[in-house]
Chain A
Amino acid sequence: MHRSVKGEISRGAMSRRSFLRGTGAAAAATAALESALSGAADAAGDVAGPQIVGPDATPVTLRVNGMVQAVAIEPRATLAEVLRGPLGLTGTKIGCDRGACSACTVLIDGAPVASCSILAIDVGDRAITTIEGLARDGALHPVQEAFIAHDALQCGYCTPGLALSCAALLDRVPHPSEAEVKAAISGHLCRCGAYQHVVEAVLAAAAAGRG
């Protein structure tokens, strides 16, 4: 497997609706904010007290697919928007923009996250993996290979998110049961109805990894 999962993401940090006002938000959000603001000229001040950022663009550093990327973004920008816009990583798809379809799934420290529902400035220095970063050194991830071999896609719009969730599963559980595969992709909507081929593909990728 390509990488290991490093802990869970704090859910408190992930809603764009629990926005920054007053920063009465969870400690995790404050911590993420600090890291997002390190180096920002106007960020100097009482770290313990309320901080106001934005509404103008704020410099942020993101770790994406093993690269460090510095961008200036409005604090309201979601991770999905920043990946697709300034970073040009359009493999991340927006299907519903409110965490209902999982098309926008990326991995943060190895765990699947709906990138439409986390603010980019809340990511901090955690490692982001998008679909563009799943293949390594020109070799497709076993899940990607299996998706092609089992025709686990049709239109392909939900595919990047699904592939990342499945890769994260195999990272965590190298030999999952069918029920575990279904649980791992239960938040993903696929209107073309590729579910059965997705499950077959993931089980086949796991079996191939056994040898």
Chain B
Amino acid sequence: MSVKRKISSHPYIPNSVPEVKAQMLQEIGIKSAEDIFGIIPDHLRFKGELNLPEAIVSEYELTKHVEELLAKNKNCKEYLNFLGGGCWQHYVPAVCKTIMERDEFLSAYVGEAFADHGKWQAQFEYASCIAELVDMDMVNTPTYDWAMACATTVRMASRITGRNQALVATSISPERLACIKNYAFSIVPDIVQVKCDPHTGLMDLEDLKAKISSKTACVYFENPNFFGVIESQAKEISRIAHENGALVSVGVDPISLGILAPPSHYGADIVCGDVQPLGIHMYAGGGLGGFIATPDEPKFVAEYPSLLFGITPTIEPGEYGFGEVLFERTSYASRDKAKDFLGTMAQLHGIVAGVYLSLMGPQGMREIGETIMYKATYASRRLGKIKGVKILFSAPHFKEFVVNFDGTGKTVKEINKALLQHKIHGGKDLSVDFPQFGQSALYCVTEIHSKKDLDYLADCLEKIVS
């Protein structure tokens, strides 16, 4: 793989130059690093050499090696992509990339708000932009992803209400459901799913009414839901929850919020979602970051596990400074007595989402929402006209929709294999997670798809199923 060679020092390890190393050992007063490691009992020492590949010390050779590996992937520039479901292909503006690439942000960590002032301000501005989008006053520094964000809201709701059951819509992402079940388990062991109306794709309100009780800490649903369906009964769901003393947590795709009402307007107490659509590439699922927003009331604020960056004056008149709000809540301050835990999460992605929202502004967010709505609606109509293919769920959808292939006699797996021959990544196969919907797939259409792309998809599908 690599060209074997002797080098006088490794480019990443400057003190590996033998003369420097020797001088340092002499100044310490030891002969070798073994004089430091010698304290490790012999039976705990690793003997021999690690069985790792030989070093590729040449940057060019490393690049070739990684390029060869990545060439085995069929990326979404080469292939048309219709996969979404929590990681979406959107256009990433150049300025977002430039800022994400800055070494200052990229390689900073937990520096204080003096020498890392810019990082704190960028993070505060990110939270401020999300706050406008969801129309709520308190926003966290991002957690790992939407799944951990919604699971966190369930724990927050449990602590606020003192209850230990959560009602969760069936129409949420199965991966997010799996995270909720594991993450919330210790205080919310009882996760009950509320049915989805098989015709409209909306929540079955009768089922909600039957299941909600004085044990319910919160009702969690997504809007648009995992199937792309716009939950138009949101206000009614909130009313039912509140009547029973439960909180309402809503997961939302932030790129929809230029045209769809923010959940706070239909009764949500807590809002969460993912920042990935806001100027961050998919990175094979690596581009995620979860936001949480609530009213700016102590009963909510006290239950966040996240760092909360607050604006505060400095000793220099007129200067903005920043600091941690209610730091004692966090596990950095209070360890096992804290509200859950925190750590290295997804702050860089938060900063980039702030850049994106500042570039887009209110007009851009409205326009992109409309564009996505137009294109997804066009695609679903086009596909719905193919013989044997039908669009499940009658309610309006945003960005994603469920295509059923039962009438074609073919499985989604077969269809997707055939689509690959046409250089298309077909929609996510739902037949395992949602067998009740037969051979169905979740298709995602965003602003990056042209009419030509959508027509090509429809033409290919037509050929495959006929």
Partners in one complex: no
